[in-house]
């Protein structure tokens, strides 16, 4: 393919807004530690980024952005943290109080830092969450003052100045209201409270809505971003954790508030992340002003062709390539790319692995999958 100058920011926005990108962003997916260990044993050079190595092997000029990436360094997390400490170590497991105040169990194959970061595919067991009573809640909310000086780095103005000259897309991410309440209360307790103490749930959601809104004001008044992205993870394999009617009642006002605020500052992409089966929730997200979602897990009965037929251009997508097909290799990868090709070519879709890239995907299969993805997105 002839070399064409690529502006990565324009490609990202034009793709997700159903415009006319010169190329669709090539984002095959991000491996975890166990995946990288396998790939290094199979030929991925140590110290080389997996996408750079795959592109070199395939003869793809990625045309990395001319401007270096800038981390805004903003902090939506609690301040101060809880003390991280191991409470017990026996039978091959740690029982830990993590920095969010939850009591969590994890295999001693890992250290406690794996509890709250996506370093690898790690199973955890949650024993207790920090908010059990209203008194706990009043103590917890003290940790979320949006005007705490540490929430923005000392050189925030300089970082914003560098971002204004970017040729890559940039945004900010934070927890959605469902995700955040689940972190405070736990899934089971939150589910019960929706029915038994809805006023308390609404109080906590309103608090979180205001906290994030104030943070966004502090950020977006200083620099224009391309997206906001909030995590919700509110669906199981075949059903959502909270139905659309309850989502409209409890969550939609906050989502809409953030979407409206972002667009007042010129942000064009409002993106929500949720694993699991999300089709029942997409209409609510659209009502709220969300116009992108990910990662569209195929094993959770999501069908992106059906989504396109049902929702048209009201929603864009990222992800959506079945990790199981990539692992299977050969004709399975080709069939999966072909299955998605009508949506890719129709716009509003940045294809990639439909979650973190697992270790059952070989390095050769990942490279072949990247080759096929590069062909359909205009890089080969």
Domains recognised in the chain with CATH numbers: 8-77+131-377 (3.20.20.210), 83-129 (no CATH)
Distance, in Å, from the CA atom of 35 to the CA atom of 38, rounded to the nearest integer, reads 5
Concatenate the DSSP letters of all residues of 64-109 into one string. Answer: --SSPP-------S-SSPPPPEEEEEETTEEEEE-TTS-EEEEETT
Tell me the average pLDDT across 82-103: 94
Tell me the average pLDDT across 283-297: 98
What residues are paired with 20 via a beta bridge? Answer: none
pLDDT per residue as tens digits for the range 178-204: 999 999 999 999 999 999 999 999 999
Q: pLDDT exceeding 90 applies to what percent of the chain?
A: 93
pLDDT per residue as tens digits for the range 212-245: 999 999 999 999 999 999 999 999 999 999 999 9
The pLDDT of residue 117 is 82
| Token pair recorded at residue 124 | 């955890």
Is 8's pLDDT higher than 90?
Answer: yes
The pLDDT of residue 112 is 79
The pLDDT of residue 1 is 44
The pLDDT of residue 2 is 46
Nearest to 106 by CA among 114, 31, 216, 240: 114
Q: What is the mean pLDDT of the chain?
A: 96
Is 351's pLDDT higher than 70?
Answer: yes
Q: Which residue has the higher pLDDT, 120 or 128?
A: 128
Is 52's pLDDT higher than 80?
Answer: yes
Residue 288 in contact with residue 252, Cβ under 8 Å?
yes
Distance, in Å, from the CA atom of 130 to the CA atom of 151, rounded to the nearest integer, reads 22
Rounded-to-10 torsion of CA 193, 195, 196, 200: 50
The pLDDT of residue 4 is 57
Tell me the average pLDDT across 306-335: 98
Nearest to 203 by CA among 236, 177, 172: 177
């Amino acid at each position: 393919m002839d070399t064409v100058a690529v502006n990565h920011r324009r490609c990202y926005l034009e793709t997700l807004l159903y415009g006319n990108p010169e190329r669709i962003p090539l984002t095959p997916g991000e491996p975890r530690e166990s995946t990288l260990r396998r790939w290094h044993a199979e030929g991925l050079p140590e110290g080389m980024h997996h996408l750079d190595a795959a592109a070199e092997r395939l003869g793809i000029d990625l045309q990395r952005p001319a401007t270096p990436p800038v981390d805004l360094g903003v902090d939506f997390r609690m301040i101060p943290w809880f003390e991280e400490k191991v409470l017990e170590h026996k039978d091959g497991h740690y029982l830990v109080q993590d920095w969010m105040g939850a009591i969590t169990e994890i295999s001693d194959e890992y250290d406690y830092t794996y509890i709250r970061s996506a370093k690898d595919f790690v199973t955890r067991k949650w024993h207790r969450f920090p908010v059990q009573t209203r008194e706990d809640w009043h103590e917890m909310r003290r940790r979320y003052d949006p005007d705490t000086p540490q929430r923005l780095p000392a050189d925030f103005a300089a970082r914003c100045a560098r971002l204004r000259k970017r040729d890559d897309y940039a945004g900010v991410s934070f927890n959605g209201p469902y995700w955040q309440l689940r972190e405070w209360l736990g899934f089971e307790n939150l589910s019960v409270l929706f029915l038994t103490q809805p006023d308390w749930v609404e109080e906590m959601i309103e608090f979180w809505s205001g906290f994030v809104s104030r943070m966004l004001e502090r950020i977006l008044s200083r620099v224009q971003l391309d997206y906001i992205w909030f995590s919700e993870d509110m669906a199981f394999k075949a059903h959502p954790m909270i139905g659309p009617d309850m989502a409209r009642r409890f969550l939609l006002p906050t989502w809409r508030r953030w979407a409206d605020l972002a667009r007042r500052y010129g942000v064009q992409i409002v993106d929500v992340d949720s694993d699991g089966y999300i089709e029942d929730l997409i209409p609510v997200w659209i009502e709220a002003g969300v116009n992108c979602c990910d990662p569209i897990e195929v094993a959770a009965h999501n069908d992106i062709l059906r989504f396109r037929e049902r929702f048209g251009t009201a929603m864009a997508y990222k992800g959506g390539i079945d990790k199981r097909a990539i692992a299977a290799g050969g004709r399975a990868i080709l069939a999966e790319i072909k299955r998605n090709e009508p949506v890719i070519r129709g716009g509003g879709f940045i294809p990639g692995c439909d979650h973190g890239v697992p270790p059952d995907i070989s390095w050769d299969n990942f490279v072949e999958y990247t080759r096929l993805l590069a062909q359909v997105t205009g890089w080969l």
